[in-house]
Amino acid sequence: MTEIARDQTVTQAESPAATGRDLRAPFGLALLALACIAPLFLGNYPLHAIIIALIFLLPAHGLNLLLGYTGLLSLAQAAFFGIGAYTSALLAVHFGTPFYLNFLAAGLVTGAVALPLGIPALRLRATSFVMCTLGFVIIGQAIAKNWISLTRGDMGLAAIPKPYFALGPASFTVSGTVGFYYLVLAIAVLATLAVYLIVRSPAGRNMIAIRENETLAESVGIPTWHYKLVVFMISAAFAGLGGSLYAHYLTVVSPLTFQMYYSTTMLIIVLGGGAGTISGVIFGSLLFVGLTEALRVAPELRMIAYGFFLLGLVFWFPNGFAPLISRCSSFLEKRK
């Protein structure tokens, strides 16, 4: 870690929300408190929507580390999401292992799978890298469809047990929307904390240095190749954890878990909220829920509106919607 990189990264890391800095911690705590009491005033359906958003938050955090902090655009999140979902589902169905084991295994397996995939892919320039990561999704879907003895092909795996915890003789099962909501919320908070610790550490600053100027970062002694590979694995592991939750929540997995749609969704959450900020990604996942709920008219119309939303995002809010809100709040503060 050298002075040049540190100077550059400190300004980068703090500039986006520098004005609203003092408000961030209390605002975050208020949001968390609100999230904790949400089941008191929200019905099952809105809770379901928020659960989906919190599950997607995990792969989105991973993509944010990769795209927002290290500057690598990847479409592979859907592939790792699917691998995590299948790992968890296969363990649960064949061995009946408790939830926390499946969950951790999903993260470890996807992280491990990302290593051999990342080594060739990360050698490529930007555009070829994007294509290669898209290839992982297509090939993953083909494997899920055709390795019928393991994955049951297009039928998918059904009757995945609801998460249950077993420690010695005691065991309990998370059933019902409210229980699952608290489980997912706890995991999402822990994941957010983990990402916060990563980006606040010297490693996080090195990642930003790689994003800003890879050649310069390399020349001041940051091992950029190792950083990129490790971040790729971490981001894959986050996607795998999300996939595991998704499998246990929906209790089915099918080759449709490997879809471009999921990769697009992760991109929307990260870029819509603001890449390179943690609060942005949290905002992005809530935005995504709001969007899908608002567009629940007809499937075709919904996808058309989704398309127009993407265009609007690119052309009018290239930094995402979160900076817009922090600009509004700082504007209001100045008027006081």
Partner 1 sequence: MFYTIIEQVVNGIVSGSVYAIVAVGMTMIFGVLRAINFAHGEYYMLGTFGAWFAIEYFDLPYPVAVVIGVVATSVIAVVVGNVVMQRIVGAPAEAGVLATLGVALILQNTIILVFGGSYKFFSGGYIEPVTLFGFTLAEQRILIIIVGLIVFVGLELMVTYSRMGKAMRAVSQNIECCAVVGIDVRHIALWTFILGAGLAALSGVLTAPVNVSVYGGMGELITFKTLPIIIMGGLGNVRGTFVAAMILGVAESLVATYVGLQFRDTVGFATLMLVLMWRPHGLFSAQARF
Q: Are strands 170-173 and 164-167 parallel, antiparallel or unpaired?
A: antiparallel
User: Residues for the chain: how many in total?
Assistant: 336
Block residue for tokens 């010297």: 202
Q: Is 313 in the site for partner 1 (CB under 8 A)?
A: yes
DSSP string across 177-197: HHHHHHHHHHHHHHHHHHHHH
Query: Is residue 134 a contact residue for partner 1 (CB under 8 A)?
Result: yes
Question: Is residue 128 part of the contact set for partner 1 (CB under 8 A)?
Answer: yes
If the CB atoms of residues 26 and 318 are measured against partner 1, the closer one turns out to be 318
Nearer to partner 1, 107 or 255 (CB): 255
By CB under 8 A, tell whether 317 contacts partner 1: no
The Cα 230–Cα 233 span in angstroms is 5
Task: Answer yes or no whether residue 150 interacts with partner 1 by CB under 8 A.
Answer: no
With 0-12 / 13-18 / 19 or more C-beta atoms within 10 angstroms meaning exposed / middle / buried, residue 186 is exposed
**By CB under 8 A, which span of 104-112, 171-179, 244-252, 306-314 interacts with partner 1?**
306-314
Residue 259 vs 330, nearer CB to partner 1: 259
Tell me the number of residues near partner 1 by CB under 8 A: 41
138 binds partner 1 (CB under 8 A): yes
| 3-class state of residue 20 by DSSP | coil
Q: Scan residues 230-289 and list those touching partner 1 (CB under 8 A).
A: 260, 264, 267-268, 271, 275
- Strand residues in the chain grouped as ranges (E): 164-167, 170-173
For residues 310 and 37, what is the distance between their CA atoms, to the nearest angstrom?
A: 33
Residue whose token pair is 């800095």: 21
Tell me the closest approach of the beta carbon of residue 123 to partner 1, in angstroms: 5
d(CA 182, CA 174): 10
Q: What minimum distance in Å lies between the beta carbon of 43 and partner 1?
A: 30
- Does residue 306 bind partner 1 (CB under 8 A)? yes
Eight-class DSSP state of 176: S
Q: Does residue 304 interact with partner 1 by CB under 8 A?
A: yes
- From residue 48, how far is each of 55, 61, 88, 249, 332 by CA, in Å? 11, 20, 21, 10, 34
Least Å distance between CB 107 and partner 1? 24
DSSP sequence for 25-75: HHHHHHHHHHHHHHHHH--HHHHHHHHHHHHHHHHHHHHIIIIIIT-----
- Binding to partner 1, residues 54-113 (CB under 8 A): 67, 73, 75
Q: Of 22, 43, 127, 336, which one interacts with partner 1 (CB under 8 A)?
A: 127
Taking contact as CB under 8 A, which single stretch among the options 84-92, 173-181, 231-239, 298-306 is the one that binds partner 1?
298-306
Residue 322 makes contact with partner 1 by CB under 8 A: no
- CA 91, 92, 97, 98 dihedral sign is positive
Among residues 2, 11, 44, 146, the one that binds partner 1 under rule CB under 8 A: 146
Please give the structure tokens belonging to residue 131. Answer: 């294509």
Regarding 316 and contact with partner 1 (CB under 8 A), the answer is: no
Pick the stretch among 100-108, 128-136, 179-187, 229-237 that binds partner 1 (CB under 8 A).
128-136
Q: Which window, 1-9, 133-141, 156-164, 179-187, contacts partner 1 (CB under 8 A)?
A: 133-141
Residues binding partner 1 (CB under 8 A): 67, 73, 75, 120-121, 123-128, 130-132, 134-135, 138-139, 142, 145-146, 260, 264, 267-268, 271, 275, 300-301, 303-304, 306-311, 313-315, 318
